Amino acid sequence: MKQDTAHKIKFFLTAFVLPVLLSGFVRAFGIYTFVSPNKFAPGGVNGAAVLLEYATGWNSGWFLLMLNVPLFFLAFFLLGKKEAILSTLSMLLTSGLLIVFDQIPNFPKFFDAAASEPIAYGLLGAVAGGIFLGIALAVMLRCCGTAGGTAIPAAIVNKKWKFISVSWLTSLLDAIVVFASFFVYYSSAGFAANLVPVLLALVSLFVTSKTCDVIINGFKVAYKFEIITPHPEEIAREIMEKTHHGATMMRATGMYTHEEHDVLVCIIRKRQIAEIQRIIKRYPDTFAFFSPTTEVYGKFLK
């Protein structure tokens, strides 16, 4: 009984408490250190809070708190209780930390007002901020399947109107915040200068997306070849000798000719694609195609 209780506590801490703490801290650090000082909004609720901070002078943590409380109630009653509670706790932690960071003297901010290349600093800030926000997003997606923010109204709309996808509506809401930064950060410096916050936000969003994808999909990305051939033994032998990966043979029936064919399936690394293509080219009566696999489990290498 004690072992079961200890196991449940350990699972609760590692599956829920640590992800909430990690995502909240990483998001807060990314916003405070890299996003806010460089005057761009990364989209979504985080971006809206940053824009309101610039417009009013109040800490973005307060705005993040005010924006997320109504979203919590929407998610709690219309979506799922667990998802609503976890994502909101993470956002509340982010809000609190943003306010606390503001009270710490000389807390690091990645911006040098005296720098001769402020755009270069802004670009580096956008990349670094995107990495931190991407980590926070991935941790919450792995933990509860949602990161809150603009994904909540998007999920509610999708629940009523299925033809409107969550990803499309979330992207639209993010885009509205990003392009609003053109007017919030507007100055008399000219069109090109006013476009800089928008471009930095787009860079940040791109880096966030890619960082999240890498963490969610893992680093064990591979490629699956499916090879239809009358020479399965010869090709399989070459694949195993030259790539050190195995191959699986299956029987398939072509629906046009109703003839049976041998199909080889093998999983390889990206760097080995050219080697497989060279092997296949030596068999002109062979048809093959390949596609990426997001993650590989089990015994991959021989």
Residues 286 and 231 sit within 8 Å (Cβ to Cβ): yes
Query: In the numeric block, which tokens belong to residue 153?
Result: 């109204």
174-201 pLDDT, tens digit each: 888 888 888 888 776 677 777 888 889 9
Q: What confidence score (pLDDT) does residue 302 get?
A: 44
In DSSP terms, 262 is beta-bridged to 229, 251
Residues 6 or more apart whose CB falls under 8 angstroms from that of 16 comprise: 86, 143, 144
pTM greater than the 0.95 cutoff: no
237-296 pLDDT, tens digit each: 998 888 888 888 999 888 888 888 889 999 888 778 888 888 998 898 889 988 887 666
Q: What confidence score (pLDDT) does residue 113 get?
A: 46
Domains, in order of start, for the chain: 2-217 (no CATH), 222-293 (3.30.70.120)
Instruction: Name the percent of the chain lying above pLDDT 70.
Output: 85
Among 107, 26, 97, 30, CA closest to 64: 97
Which of 81-85, 119-123, 209-213, 240-244 is predicted least confidently?
A: 81-85
120-141 pLDDT, tens digit each: 788 888 999 999 998 988 888 7
